[in-house]
Structure 1
Amino acid sequence: MTILATLTPKLAALLLAPLLLTGCAAVRVPAPMPANELFSDAAFKPPSEPVGAADLFTLSPAMRDYLRSPAFASLVRSQGAQHGLVSALYQKGELKLEYESSKTRTAAETYEAGVGNCLSLVVMTAAFARELGVPITYQNVMVDHTWSRTGNLYFGSSHVNLVLSENLTDFMRTYQKSRATLTIDFLPPKDAESYHTYPLEERDIVAMYMNNRAAEALAQERVNDAYWWAREAVKQNPNFITGYNTLAVIYRRRGENALAERVFRAALEREPENTVVMHNLAPLLAALGKTAEAEQLKARLAVIEPYPPFYYFNRGMTAMEKGEYETARGLFAKEVKRAPFNHEFHFWLGIAHWRLGDGRRAHEELKLALDTSTTATSSERYSAKLSQLKGGARKRTY
């Protein structure tokens, strides 16, 4: 059974420029590079906030009170702990949880705020399940990455879901070969069942959390905090390649190019065709004067992925700047087709329609931008544009 609840961790990959998805691992190196060869603590100031995941799954007093509430107890009695938990969190609407992607929160923070990105909702659900004694399994779902951007940083999101199992007694296990499971996933049931999955360990989830915090700090120009979060992600799980990529991007931002190259290469030793890392390494090699190697890497990337994320979008933006709105509309439409849940693509397709005098289609795309937006800031922006369109307002800049 599939319950429609979002479980996609944001910011699974971080880029300096708008190209390429995470590739598959062709070769894995069993022994990770010693940490002292990858970390440079002296180059960064101490963090401005506690860095770690000791309280990631800790229930707050309010969460414990909710588990002891008559309403929740009634759900558990009538549906069992497994189904009762899902009903309480995602179907009954008692907690009024909303999706909001700007920050990755702990279980307690997500509960208190009533909002969270997908990884935050995974963590909070897992925390409740653990308290109830419901066995859980994290799964990576093999779907295409979803991309977004903040300034000149591009973020790729992978997809995980959470499986809740029945807590069987020893006697029941003897006579029941497999546990009944309940998969919580935001994908429609028909789609969710068609994708391959593989299990994740809890340390993978913890590393994702730390990497998210690093990426969020970097997007806010808090480079020192970003370093310590990325450092912990790599330390927590030396096989989590996304953490290496984020750490190397931070080094690049700080101007520590030699360290950045070392970390990118360490990542490629583990995943030789990780296109995110390859894309970030290529311009770094060029900046270091290793022109021939940079060109070889670019040529390899062109074969692996000739039309990377934001390929059509960036060309569409160039066309908009030149006033070539028909060309821009076609390019934005191509990005929307392959990334239908990216609100920015819908927004600019709507603007292109507007520039071409097609108010109806402009309204449709701006409404889709609003519906797929993941932050309060973007939602406010799209609502304002919709209001302008409805009122017949027309501005020359956006």
Structure 2
Amino acid sequence: MANRWLANYINASNGGFIYQDNVTRIAQETFSDRAGNCLSLVLLTAALAEVLDVNVEFQEVEVPPVWGKHGNFYLVNGHINLRLIPRETSDTYLVSKDAIQIDFLPERSMRGYATKRIDKTTVMAMFFNNIAAESLVDGKYNLAYAYIKQSLLLKPEFVSALNTLAILYRHKGLDSDAETVYKLALSQSSEDLTTLYNYAVLLSSQQRLDEWAEVHKTLELARIRNPYYYYDMAQQAYFDREYQTALTWYKRAVEKANYRHEFYFGLSQVYWATGDERKAQLNLEKALALTEDKMNKRRYQSKLHAMKNH
């Protein structure tokens, strides 16, 4: 089947293509260099899928923001992947109708995060915004502006491109223009963490401390409403063997989202580490009941069997 053949050809999980962060390439360059970031891989796979008559679904993965410093700029890394879907025709019988996800990251590491379907126009707006940010880091400001403009022509309400434009304005000393764009971006998405963070930097540089405090209040509220904030804190505490602290954070994550299997699995691990075998088993049973993924089910069933026979 064409979609499976293409997935095997891309072979991302086995080193077919090398992950290089902050390097966005067109499909031809990714094909030649066998390297690029997640968006580069998506563009290449989509181009090949079009030739092979394979349908694709683009997905934005709602991972927590990951900040990186490049030169004088702080950039936030998002994540995108796609699914290859076999195309049905009147004269074809499909042995398997399963879509295949293409991602540099293994599928098991993506299971805890929601995905959002996006269209091709959004993907292209992301592409132009990415290379605008990379041009900005390289000091190619006119080129960055041209790419931002192209991104916004495709998707005028694209918050990420508005944020990049505001950063460019700030870097060129156009603080008033930057603030106008930040406010426009926030009118589209009032709790966009990247925009709020950069707007706070602008307010701080102008000593507008009351307004800065209000923005930081919104940032903090957005952070503590996210159950994965507590989950990440719990995970770190668990790995540091600070089990009581981990227990507190896992419980808070469950309070925010009692439908996430990984939160209960985390609780199970902590209870087992502290010798409370009954609660460890109960929480693992909850994790098993909540997951729909076959691999997770096998994993939890195996651990549960080991607990009961301990």
Give the TM-score normalised by the residue count of structure 1. 0.52
Cα deviation for residue 244 of structure 1 reads 0.5
Aligned to 1:67: none
Q: Distance in 1 between matches of 2:54 and 2:79?
A: 22
Segments ≥4 residues shifted beyond 6 Å: none
Q: Write the deviation string for residues 68-113 of structure 1: whole angstroms up to 9, x where unpaired.
A: xxxxxxxxxxxx21111121221798x9532223421100111122
Q: Which ranges of structure 1 fall in alignment gaps of 5 or more residues?
A: 1-79, 307-329, 334-398
Q: Distance in 2 between matches of 1:186 and 1:148?
A: 19
Q: Distance in 2 between matches of 1:255 and 1:296?
A: 24
Matches within 5 A, 1:194-209: 194-209=112-127
Cα deviation for residue 267 of structure 1 reads 0.3
CA change 1:133–1:261 in 2 (3 A) is same
Q: SS where residue 170 of structure 1 aligns?
A: coil
Report whether the alignment pairs 1:125 with 2:45.
yes
Q: Could you tell me which of 25, 30, 49 is aligned with 1:105? A: 25
Report whether the alignment pairs 1:156 with 2:76.
yes
CA change 1:285–1:90 in 2 (3 A) is same
Report whether the alignment pairs 1:212 with 2:133.
no
Letter in 2 for 1:105: R
Aligned to 2:7: 86
Matches within 5 A, 1:265-284: 265-284=183-202
Q: Distance in 2 between matches of 1:152 and 1:91?
A: 32
> Identity over the aligned pairs, expressed in percent?
32
Q: Write the deviation string for residues 24-58 of structure 1: whole angstroms up to 9, x where unpaired.
A: xxxxxxxxxxxxxxxxxxxxxxxxxxxxxxxxxxx
Aligned to 2:180: 262
Q: Distance in 1 between matches of 2:105 and 2:10?
A: 17
| More helix per residue | 2
Q: Could you tell me which of 146, 168, 180 is aligned with 2:88? A: 168
Q: Distance in 1 between matches of 2:213 and 2:22?
A: 36
Q: Which shifted more, 215-224 or 275-284? A: 275-284
Cα deviation for residue 260 of structure 1 reads 0.4
Cα deviation for residue 291 of structure 1 reads 4.3
Q: Distance in 2 between matches of 1:305 and 1:196?
A: 17
CA change 1:92–1:180 in 2 (3 A) is closer
Q: Write the deviation string for residues 222-259 of structure 1: whole angstroms up to 9, x where unpaired.
A: 12211111122122112321111000000000011111
Report whether the alignment pairs 1:236 with 2:157.
no
Aligned to 1:252: 170
Q: Distance in 2 between matches of 1:282 and 1:100?
A: 30
Q: Distance in 2 between matches of 1:304 and 1:288?
A: 24
Q: Distance in 2 between matches of 1:160 and 1:85?
A: 18
CA change 1:169–1:112 in 2 (3 A) is same
Q: Distance in 1 between matches of 2:34 and 2:17?
A: 5
Cα deviation for residue 295 of structure 1 reads 3.0
Q: Write the deviation string for residues 335-393 of structure 1: whole angstroms up to 9, x where unpaired.
A: xxxxxxxxxxxxxxxxxxxxxxxxxxxxxxxxxxxxxxxxxxxxxxxxxxxxxxxxxxx
- Residues 39, 81 of structure 2: 8 Å contact kept: no
Q: Which shifted more, 136-145 or 247-256? A: 136-145
CA change 1:147–1:91 in 2 (3 A) is closer
Q: SS where residue 202 of structure 2 aligns?
A: helix
Q: Which has the higher contact order (CA 8 A, sep 6+)?
A: 1
Q: Distance in 1 between matches of 2:220 and 2:85?
A: 44
Q: SS where residue 273 of structure 1 aligns?
A: coil
Aligned to 2:211: 293
Letter in 2 for 1:140: E
Q: Write the deviation string for residues 167-189 of structure 1: whole angstroms up to 9, x where unpaired.
A: 1113669xx8x943111123333
Matches within 5 A, 1:49-60: none
CA change 1:115–1:187 in 2 (3 A) is closer
RMSD across aligned C-alpha pairs, in angstroms? Answer: 3.0
Aligned to 1:141: 61
Aligned to 1:45: none
CA change 1:104–1:197 in 2 (3 A) is same
How many aligned positions are there? 228
